[in-house]
Every structure is written in C-alpha cells, then in structure tokens.
Chains A and B, each alone.
Chain A
C-alpha cells in the first residue's frame, strides 16, 4: 500500500506542471468564450447556464478531460526519469502495481479537474452576469435581475451530471471516471503503435461515456424511461465499456511481455 502511494505521488510530481498548465489554459479559454458570448446582443436574455451550453463549453469540458487522461498517462514518458519498461525490470514489486498507480493518478487528476470546473463556474458567474446585465440595459424596460448562482448551477446540465443531487446518479459519475482512469492506465502501459491505438480507444470511451452520462441526465429530467431509450443507453454503455476491455487486454499483454524480457 505504501509503495502504491509512493508511486502515485511520484507520478503526480512528474505530471503536475503540464496538468496545471492544462487547467490554466482551460480556464482562460472558458472565460474568453463565456465573456464573448455574454457580450453579444444575440444571446441577450440567456442565463449563464444557457450561455455555457450555447458556446459549446460542455463538449469542450469532455475534450479537456480526455487531455487530462493523456497528461496522466504521460507520467511514464517524462524525460527518462520514469521509463516504464526499464523501471519495471528493476522494481522489486509486482508489475500490476504500475497500472494500479496510474488508475489512481488519473482518478486524482479527474477529481481535481472537475473541482476546477466548479471553481471556474462560480468565479465566472460574477463577471458574466454583470456583462450580460449591462448589455440588457436599454433593451429591456426595468431592471431584470440575473439568475442566482444556485439557479445557474442547477440549470446547467454539466453540473447536473457532475454534482448529481438525486440518489443513485453518483454511481454513474464514479463509473464514468473509473472507466476513463482504466483507459488512461492502459495508455501508460502500452508502447509504440499500440499506445496510439490505446489513445484512440480511450477517445472512444471518453466520447461515448460522456454521451451516456448526458443521455441518462436527459432521461431522468424528462422522465423518458422507455424501452427504446433504455436499449439505446445500454448500447452506448456497451460501446464505452468495450474499448476499455480491449485496451485492458492490450495493456496486460504489454506488462507480460515486459516481464519476459
């Protein structure tokens, strides 16, 4: 256990700078997009949650989440300090500890990234609503108050997915993150063209998994539990899990080969 902890923290140490950079770029991008759309007359009357959805920030969150997975996987390729195959040979413990550490690292980065999104949204709430309020002056009679922060978070589908208040929905978020973490660990274990293939399969899992998370949110809020929709959800879920299984096989084989060398 202590070894696992050390491995995770060492890998965290290796990726912390690129991860922070990614978070910073993401924050700047989100601020620019939200402020630009709040400043447009065309979006007048929209609340912040609408702006967030309208400017395409929801898919961008999941794209960046995929980049977070790649960042976590890059811990095994950091300038010679942690060459996996070499390390594996000299490690005095089981090779399986390696993907386990990567899974935990990836989970850690995803949690921090999600928390970062919550912080960003809360902070941006103030300038964005102030700006859209300024645009409204002169176009609408009377002063119209902006939606409260509570309303804005509640009305945003992303937070309905990431911070579900209804019981049972938590399992979906945790399952989604766990699936992505497994994919990230697989990328970290594979080399060469297999690594490229693993990255592609991880992309499929991230995209389809995000889709299933959204579909479930949609079904729950619209009470659209129907046999056809349920089947679709099951199919999408299968499409998210299957690449993870393929990658897992590939990664275990890579570990086995490394052991043989």
Chain B
C-alpha cells in the first residue's frame, strides 16, 4: 500500500512567514544601507590634492521625488549618505496682489461717471459647471490708493493688507469694478486697477518684493511716493472671519461690495533704507544669511553697492559700503555659501559675464575680500575661502552635450500630433559634474588646483533629452544642488 507523505502545515506555514518577513526586512535594509557609495567620484586634473584641505563642500543629488543622496567633499575626502528628508527650508505658499484702488471717499464721484453693464459666463465643467451673472463697470480716475495684499494659500486663507500711500497720477487711468451674484461673490471688487498694468508707464508707484517666504514673512518695499524704501515684516495675518468684521462695504451702482482700502493684519518696518537707496535686483534672497542673521545688498543713487548686515529680525546691525558699482542692467545672484561667516554673490551683466565676490566676515566687518571676473557662459554655483583664508575655491557646473534623435512614433506618443513624419534631432546640455578650482588668495589669474566631481550621466537626463525637444524650450531640471552652510544645521538622515 502506498504510504502518504505526512504534511506538516504548521512548520510550512511558519517557514513561508519567515521567508516573507525576511524579504521585506531585506528590502528595508537595502534602502537604508545599499545606497551607491561611489556615485560621486573626485578627479584631480592638475595641482596637489592637499590644496583641498580646509574646504568643505556639501551637495545634494536629488534622485527621485522621495529620495536624495547627500555628498560631502571635506579636506579632499568624499563621503556620501542617503537623505530621506529634503531641505529644512519650508516657505509658505504666498500669493500677492498689488492694486491701485479708488479711495473710499471719492468712490461715489467715480461711481457716478461709470459706464458698464451686465456680464455672464460660467466656470467649472461637467457636474461642477456653475453659471454666474454680474455687472462690470469702468470709469476714469486719477487719485489712487496703492494697496498690497499678501495671501497664504495653504488652505487657511489668512492674509494681510496694507496701503503704500495715496498717489495722484498725471493723467486719469481706467479703473474697473465687478459685482457678481452669490456663485462668484468672492471675485467682486470696487473700482481698482492692477498695478502690473501700469508698471512700465513711468508713474511713481512703489514696488514690493518678497524677501523670504518662511515665517515670519519679510518684504522689501521700494522707495517712491516721497518715502524711503525699507524692509517690513508681517507680524500678523488675519483669518477670513476677522477680515469680514474689519472690512467695510462700499456701494458700486447701489450694490454693496467689500472695500479694498481697509488695511488689516500687522506689518512692521524693521529696516529703513536711507537716501533713496534701492535693493539690488536679485532672483532670490533665500541664501543671504550669516551665522547670526541676514544680509542684503543695496544700491545708492550713484550706483555704489552697500552691504547691510542685519540680525535675525532683519534689523540693521551694520552698513558697509563696498568698493563695487552696479550699472544699469546688471543684477546680483546670491550663491549658497560654504561657511556661516562668508558672503558669496555674483554681479551679472545683462549679456552674460560679470564678477564673483567672496567676503569673509569678522563680526561686523569684512576680514577678507576676493573678486573674480566671470566669463560669459559660466556662473559658479558656490565659492569660499579655506579655513585659514589662504586659498579660494570656486565650484561651477560641468556639462556635457547629449544628442539623439526622436523617432516619429515617440513624437506622436507624447504630443498626439501625427503630421510630423520625420525623426527630429535633439540635444541637451546635461550636468555631469562640478568643476572645482582652487586659487591662491592673493592673485587670481591661474587656478592652483583644477579638479572635478564626477556624477556620470544621471538616468533622468535620458528622458529630459526627449522632453526638451518635444516640449519646445529646453527645460531645466536641477538634479544636483549645493547645500548651503545655513541649511546643514536643520538636516539629518531619517
């Protein structure tokens, strides 16, 4: 008689459970430990490696939306670690509106002269399709109130509104009022004009720049309207319920609409720029930080640069005139610094080129200064002095031209167009590394050391090659970024 093999389901059951758990744990371990330790390589082209002593460069390789590799070049030694948390910099999502509004006391007079009529339309689609009806009026006005509103669009809808003074324009401009029914009541407004519409017309209208969107939010207001420019801090945002109580209503053709002239929330001027000084045009002031505060660059009326050292509250601590002048069309770019006591920025010409300025600070004075001319196509991503201040390091991006062809089927797949029947040649400038150059602190003609950090061609450039061609202009993806000294404190691996 054939004997049946005995089943031991209990053991088998535990066995598969153990195997399953083991695989999952191995996956976890893999993600935590098996990061590519040699993803970044250091190649020295000329010079002695010991010249890298005293420099620390930290960078981030963003590999996907969820993960990044942090690498450090310290004293010529490379190290890497995975980073599961991205930057600690957490700005508020802000939306600003700058409007020229008809003051409430002359509203009635403007309203009398207004012309306009009924408008209707709809928004949304399918079952969310909502029709709306309303009235739109236009009128001419020359006395306008400059009103700036800053909203936090993180779902809380808090905002702050303040006036930058009343101005009388040399000629009357067209202002518009809109009154809608309930379905679009939030879009109703009394007579006003967006400041952007007349920004280039040469009127004396002040300008507002958001300096830092991280809480507490700081703003720069340009001089104008007979007042000096300055830095303001938002001390209090108001929530919609508070605003409803504060803001009075005005009449537009007999219908009540919330006034735009009522200021709410609190802003405080923390730093005044004197003698008609203006803030230097710059894309972002995020990296303008020192160990105990911030700094800004202003331009005097004669065109000379002035460095303001500020404390953590943006209050002026010291004012240092720099031996550099800024001509029309030039702008500044603040670079992330490698040390907490250094200031790095570039002055860019309109047609490319310019100069790189590195300042080593000692309390409230400049201890060391270095100025490096820039060629047309290279803008460094960071720079800094060595610990003893004897050498200067400049890091810039190393790019490689990738070329390929986009087959017809790919074009059709992505764009849906079937008229293009030929292959298209495409190319992209991919960042494959960082050039590292060390100069002697004294004269900056020839680098003493020339090296580069090699990242290889990251996988994502492949896709970017197609996309750059398929979607018109060359998109820029930033896979590699310098971690500024001020950012390092708040970061850590998970």
Contacts and interface: CB of A to CB of B under 8 A. Distances in A.
Q: Do A and B come from one complex?
A: yes
Interface of A: 5-6, 8-10, 12-13, 16, 41-42, 44-47, 49-50, 108, 111-112, 114-116, 118-119, 136, 139-142, 144-148, 150-151, 153-155, 157, 159-160, 162-163, 165-167, 217, 221-223, 226-229
A221 B410 contact: no
Contacts of A160: 66
Given A142-B402, A165-B494, A108 B31 contact: no
B456 A145 contact: yes
Interface in B35-74: 35-36, 63-67
Interface stretch (B12-20, B360-368, B482-490): B12-20
A47 B9 CA distance: 41
A8 B10 CA distance: 8
B90 A223 contact: yes
B63 A151 contact: yes
B16 A112 contact: yes
B1 interface: no
Interface in B294-349: none
B404 A150 contact: no
A12 B407 CA distance: 51
A141 B406 CA distance: 12
B32 interface: yes
- List the 4 closest pairs (A to B, CB-CB), nearest first: A115-B23, A155-B64, A13-B9, A42-B413
Contacts of B17: 108, 111-112
Given A142-B402, A163-B27, A10 B64 contact: no
Considering residues B16, B64, B404, B463, which has the most beta carbons from chain A within 10 angstroms of its beta carbon? B64
A177 B297 CA distance: 56
Contacts of A226: 154-155
B12 A163 contact: no
Contact of B409 (A12, A13, A41): A41
A115 B24 contact: yes
B21 interface: yes
Contacts of A155: 63-67
B457 A145 contact: yes
29 contacts: A13-B12, A41-B407, A42-B410, A45-B462, A45-B466, A47-B462, A108-B13, A111-B24, A112-B17, A112-B19, A115-B23, A141-B404, A142-B457, A144-B402, A144-B462, A145-B457, A153-B27, A153-B31, A154-B67, A160-B66, A162-B24, A163-B31, A165-B32, A166-B84, A166-B85, A221-B66, A226-B155, A227-B154, A228-B155
A42 B34 CA distance: 31
Nearest to B14: A9
Contacts of B466: 44-45
B172 interface: no
Given A144-B461, A150-B34, A222-B65, A118 B27 contact: yes
Which size bracket describes the interface of B in this complex?
35 or more
Contacts of B12: 9, 12-13, 16
Interface in B456-494: 456-457, 459-466, 494
B156 A150 contact: no
Given A111-B21, A112-B19, A141 B462 contact: no
Interface of B: 7, 9-10, 12-14, 16-17, 19-24, 26-28, 30-32, 34-36, 63-67, 84-85, 90, 154-156, 402-407, 409-410, 413-414, 456-457, 459-466, 494
Nearest to B411: A42
Contact of A147 (B10, B404, B459): B459
B445 to A, nearest CB: 34
Contacts of A12: 9, 12-13, 16
Contact of A140 (B63, B413, B462): B462
A146 B460 CA distance: 9
Given A8-B13, A153-B27, A112 B460 contact: no
A119 B64 contact: no
Contacts of B31: 150, 153-154, 159, 163, 165
Given A10-B9, A140-B402, 12 more contacts: A12-B12, A42-B410, A44-B462, A45-B464, A49-B64, A108-B16, A108-B17, A114-B20, A115-B22, A144-B462, A150-B34, A217-B66
Nearest to B464: A45
A112 B19 CA distance: 8
Nearest to B87: A223
A112 B457 CA distance: 37
A78 to B, nearest CB: 13
A165 B457 contact: no
A8 B371 CA distance: 75
A150 B64 CA distance: 11
Contacts of A142: 402, 457
